[in-house]
Chains A and B, each alone.
Chain A
Amino acid sequence: MADLETFRSETRAWLEANCPPEMREPVRDDEDVYWGGRRATFKNDAQKAWFEACVAKGYTVPAWPKEYGGAGLSPAEAKVLREEMSRINARPPLSSFGIWMLGPALLQFGTEGQKQRFLNEIARGEIRWCQGYSEPGSGSDLVSLQTYGEDKGDHWVVNGQKIWTSYADQADWIFCLVRTDKNDKYKGITFMLYDMASEGVTTKPILLISGNSPFCETFFDNVKVPKSYGEDVPAYVGEVNRGWDVAKYLLGHEREMISGAGGGERSAAIGAMMKRHAAKLGDELDPVLRAELAMFDVDALAYTAMGEKFLDEIKVGKAHPAQPNMMKYVGTELNKRRHELMMAVGGSRSLEWESEDTGGGKPARGWLRTKANSIEGGTSEVMLNVISKRILDLPGA
């Protein structure tokens, strides 16, 4: 414990010295988030300085081992760092699907050569990754995916189409589920890694109801994917035809992440904030709206306690392995309800789509964005299916 307190005071001093004041302001727009990658540019010197300080310290991926670009922090130390960063509202120095998705998969399933190369690239923000999972015909039923990699000896030729590829138009590389055996549904998928600059890869952004385009359609037209990028660096994670194991592991990981298991803003009570918001608009809460806010706050605060319990139990292996599905289900449904209430409090002001007062329609666009929460990463209905089967053990589930 004494060591942790020393670590806390050192961390506090380091953050004080290295996190510029601009990087302690709330994120206002997309440019405030640094994603890294070959084509990345910094919005300003503060963003650059903060990012570089974190890379040098291993703090873009603090819990990863030092040899892969991390800081090798223990879970308890990583928690202290999170707390200290949150205390000063420090922005994440680097956001990336490499950190959230591919990294954990490589740490679990990767070869030493893959870890040395890809994890270090991710930690230094050199390569921006995107995820190729869903296809137009394979959403909730992901395992039915059809994008096919034909075996040509030392390489595959990949043909097919992915959808909902986040920021594919800005990504450097893709981790992609590709069918390599048409005769085995589950054991016929390979988790491939390849360059988005390869010949035959095209992307097309999808315009969403929010007016934003964070997702793309991605097309593969005879894309040549080598089977290896050098000694001990295969172009696939795990084994050929066993990519579904990796995907399942990552889906679990993603559900944990989306569920906002740590609580945070997503699960916080909003009633008091909404009262102030209404007052700012020269209005007050209708009694029935206040009542709904109170009921929401009860659910949100209870969910926060559940998140805490879930994390505590995970640490000691007490949590049911299917529990992230429950967290994801409840957390996303709660977030949708939260934004419905925020829209109601905002009234006609929250309808404004482009006005300066609303930061370019933030309330409305944010509200619409939350509708995807209970679809992406496994729909609420799929989560309920998993709970039925794995926790309640209901027949035929």
Chain B
Amino acid sequence: MPLYHNDDQAMLADTAAGFMAEEGNIAKQLRHWRDRNCKDGFGHGLWKQMAEMGFTGMLVDEADGGLGMGHVEAGIVLEEIGRNLTPSPFLTSSVLAATALKHGSDDVKGRYLPDLIAGDSVFAVAIDETAKHRPSRIATRAEKSGNGFKLSGTKSFVVQGGSADMIVVAARTSGSDDDVDGITLFAVPKDAAGISHDAVRLVDSSMATHTKFDGVELDGDAVIGEIDGGRAVLDAMLLAGRVGAAAEGVGVARGAMDMTVDYLKQRKQFGRLIGEFQALQHRASHLYSEVEIARAVTIKAQQLLDAGSQQADLMASVAKAKVAKTARLAVQEGVQMHGGIGMTDEYDIGLYMKRDRALAEFLGDAYFHANRVAELSGY
């Protein structure tokens, strides 16, 4: 498969770019909700519009009412989300939770997927338990209780946890905290007794929660996949999420770079456009090179994942690490080259810096994934 978009994908990219620029732009979404101190941090109206565009269920199988598309397509939408800094539940609901639900029973699917596809529901995923992403260690426990389970523990960095109608929770049903096996995934409805959220606004104005599960009683039908065999579902969900987060990061990097290159062509100092200075030209060109490469490896990871390749796992970590490094470079150069106004809230470049920080941390930063590349490569 050639490493570029086919005609259908190119058409989707045009559609997604037009839609996000028009409806998902920074003034209409990110600033609008931020300035109103919105408790969700995103707009439900846009989510509904994304459903009408067919985005919300693009990864859901056709048999389950979705479009049965792949991660290249989801990545196209995510890149435009990144470019416009559009706050939306797409990555958590339509990529992460939707991937987990693929492994669910027909009952679980029927309970959640139609509302996701219609844009009426928002889902969150609860994985992290410490301030860094460490999915190998899961201490949150679900003890057998009658026909169901009793869930206890605390999860952190649950993005949009306070707005979610359902949270996919990775919990331990047997073994000790660091065991590979003994994990089970649960679809926990928002109104289950014993859930409490400590909502926090993050640096990029997005909302997340520290969510406490205090003996939350769950029916057996809340289980997604196999009891004690949830690691495979968790891994699949993480893999899809990482590749998706990389695609969004590519959009953040490209958005910041384009804004900065435009600025170099407008701003005058010393009687010249600052883009005439070679010191800045070379840095901009280096950044361009890195962004192109980050985008290439992200598309590579998407294609491998869609093809069900064994290489997808390694390439997903390469992509997540490469994009994290590249987007970081893009936003840092962006603020520096904008000079003083880059530090003001009025200019958008600072918003890119904030979004990069939060997005890079989500599902593992560059250090986590570079380390993972080393481990998967055998050193």
Q: Is the beta-carbon distance between B374 and A396 smaller than 8 angstroms?
A: no
- B289 and A329 contacting across the interface, CB-CB below 8 Å: yes
Given A384-B286, A395-B275, A396-B276, also A330-B300 (CB < 8 A): no
CB-defined interface of A361-397 with B at 8 Å, one 1/0 digit per residue?
Answer: 0000000000000000000010111011001111111
Q: Is the CB of A394 within 8 A of B288?
A: no
Query: Which of A294, A308, A394 contacts B374 (CB under 8 A)?
Result: A294
Q: How far is the CA of A163 from the CA of B242 in the complex (A)?
A: 50
- For A330, list chain B residues within 8 Å (CB): 289-290, 293
User: Taking the nearest CB of chain B, how far is it from the CB of A69, in angstroms?
Assistant: 31
Name the one of B289, B292, B377 contacting A297, with C-beta atoms under 8 angstroms.
B377
Is A275 at the interface (CB under 8 A from chain B)? yes
Quote the shortest CB–CB distance from A378 to chain B (angstroms): 13
Cβ contact within 8 Å between B379 and A291: no
Residues of A close to B371: CB separation below 8 A: 291, 294
Interface-lining segment among B32-40, B67-75, B114-122, B314-322: B314-322
> Are the CB atoms of B293 and A306 closer together than 8 Å?
yes
Chain B contacts for A294, CB-based, 8 A: 370-371, 373-374
A270-285 to B contact mask, C-beta < 8 Å, 1/0: 0110110000000001
Interface residues of B in 274-310 (CB under 8 A from A): 275-276, 278, 281-282, 284-286, 288-290, 292-294, 296-297, 299-300
* Residue from the list A272, A301, A387, A392 in contact with B297, Cβ < 8 A: A301
- Whether A309 sits at the interface, judged by CB under 8 Å, is yes
- How long is the Cα–Cα vector from A285 to B377 in the complex, in angstroms? 14
Known: A306-B296, A387-B285. A298 touches B379 (CB 8 A): no
A291–B379 Cα distance when bound, in Å, is 10
Chain A residues numbered 88-107 whose CB sits less than 8 Å from any CB in chain B: none
Which of chain B's residues have a CB closer than 8 A to the CB of A142?
none
In the docked arrangement, what's the CA distance between A271 and B321, Å?
Answer: 16
Is B347 on the interface with A (CB-CB < 8 A)? Answer: no
B3, B281, B285, B325 — which one has the most chain A CB atoms within 10 A of its CB? B285
Is B264 close to A, CB under 8 A?
yes
> Does B265 reach chain A (CB closer than 8 Å)?
yes
Q: Is the CB of A295 closer than 8 A to any CB of chain B?
A: yes
The minimal Cβ–Cβ distance linking B165 to chain A, given in whole angstroms, is 37
Cα-based distance from A295 to B369 in the complex (angstroms): 9
A-B residue pair count with CB separations less than 8 angstroms:
141
Verify B293–A302 contact, CB threshold 8 A: yes
A53 within 8 A of partner (CB): no
Contact B379 A274, beta carbon cutoff 8 Å: yes
Interface size class of B (residues with CB under 8 A): 35 or more
Please measure, in the bound complex, the distance between the C-alpha atom of A271 and the C-alpha atom of B294, giving whole angstroms: 20
A199 on the interface (CB 8 Å rule)? no
Contacts of B366 in A (CB 8 A): 295, 298
Q: Is the CB of B373 within 8 A of A298?
A: yes
Interface residue A312 (Cβ < 8 Å from any Cβ of B): yes
What's the nearest-Cβ distance from chain A to residue B373, in Å? 6
Q: Do A302 and B294 form a contact, CB below 8 Å, given A271-B377, A326-B288? A: yes
- Judged by a CB distance under 8 angstroms, whether A174 is at the interface is no
> B378 at interface (Cβ–Cβ under 8 A)?
yes
Contact A394 B379 (CB under 8 A): no
Q: State whether A313 touches B315 (Cβ < 8 A).
A: no
Given A295-B370, A297-B374, residue A290 in contact with residue B379 (CB < 8 A): yes
Q: Is A303 an interface residue (CB 8 A)?
A: yes
B261 within 8 A of partner (CB): yes
The docked-state distance in angstroms from the alpha carbon of A312 to that of B6 is 12
The tally of residues in A whose CB lies under 8 Å from a CB in B reads 43
B273 lies within 8 A of A290 (CB): no
Flag if B264 contacts A387 (CB, 8 Å).
Answer: no
Contact A384 B285 (CB under 8 A): yes
Determine the residue in chain B with the shortest Cβ distance to A269.
Answer: B377
Known contacts A391-B288, A396-B273, A301 near B281 by CB under 8 Å: no
Chain B residue contacts of A313, Cβ below 8 A: 2-4
B282/A326 in contact, CB under 8 A: no
Contact of A298 among B3, B272, B369 (CB under 8 A): B369
Of the residues B4, B289, B322, contact of A387 by C-beta under 8 Å: B289
Q: Shortest Cβ distance from A234 into chain B, in angstroms?
A: 39
Asked if B379 and A271 sit within 8 Å, CB to CB, the answer is yes
Give the shortest distance, in Å, between A294 (CB) and chain B (any CB).
4
> Are B281 and A397 in contact, CB atoms less than 8 angstroms apart?
yes
A299 within 8 A of B: yes
Let me know if B379 and A285 touch, CB within 8 A.
yes
Q: With A and B bound together, what is the CA distance between A381 and B246 in angstroms?
A: 29
Residues of A within 8 A of B319 (CB): 302
Task: With both chains docked as a complex, state the minimum distance between the C-beta of A332 and any C-beta of chain B, in angstroms.
Answer: 12
Minimum Cβ distance to chain A for residue B270 (Å): 13
Q: Is A318 an interface residue (CB 8 A)?
A: yes
Expressed in whole angstroms, the Cα–Cα distance for A370 and B261 within the complex equals 32
A209 interfacial by beta-carbon distance below 8 Å: no
CA distance A391 to B109 in the complex (A): 47
A-binding residues in B (CB < 8 A): 2-4, 261, 264-265, 272-273, 275-276, 278, 281-282, 284-286, 288-290, 292-294, 296-297, 299-300, 314-315, 318-319, 321-322, 325, 366-367, 369-371, 373-374, 377-379
Q: Can you list 23 A-B contacts with CB-CB less than 8 angstroms, sorted by A residue number? A: A269-B373, A271-B373, A285-B379, A290-B374, A291-B367, A291-B371, A298-B370, A299-B293, A301-B297, A303-B293, A305-B293, A305-B297, A310-B296, A326-B285, A326-B292, A392-B284, A392-B285, A394-B261, A394-B276, A394-B281, A395-B276, A396-B275, A397-B276
